[in-house]
Amino acid sequence: MVKKWLAAGRLMIRDMDLEDVAALKLCLLSLGGLLGLAAPRRKKPAFALFSTLVFIGTYFPLMVKFLVSLVRTDREP
């Protein structure tokens, strides 16, 4: 079942354009905000730590890929 979901996700991503990716990012951002509002006060520091680790773990690899693409486009005519 998971393999089918991953295959469907890859197919969807292949067909996405920049606006679709932006909408997905905004959707996930909103979901994170709603989950943060729903967290009990005593567990908010744990949620904040988890969110920070996920952000660092996803942002930096994405930026490295983007910068590599940026350098590559500068080399192409």
User: Is the same domain home to 60 and 77?
Assistant: yes
User: Is the same domain home to 1 and 29?
Assistant: yes
Indicate whether 72 pLDDT > 70.
yes
- Per-residue confidence (pLDDT) for residue 35, from 0 to 100: 85
User: Is the same domain home to 7 and 25?
Assistant: yes
Q: Report which of 36, 34, 30, 60 is spatially closest to residue 48, judged by C-alpha positions.
A: 36
User: Is the same domain home to 4 and 31?
Assistant: yes
User: Is the same domain home to 1 and 31?
Assistant: yes
Tokens of 42: 């005593």
Give the domain range for residue 10.
Answer: 1-38
Give the tens place of pLDDT for each residue, 6-42: 888 888 888 888 899 888 888 888 888 888 888 899 9
Say how many domains are in the chain.
2
| C-alpha–C-alpha distance, residues 3 and 70, integer Å | 32
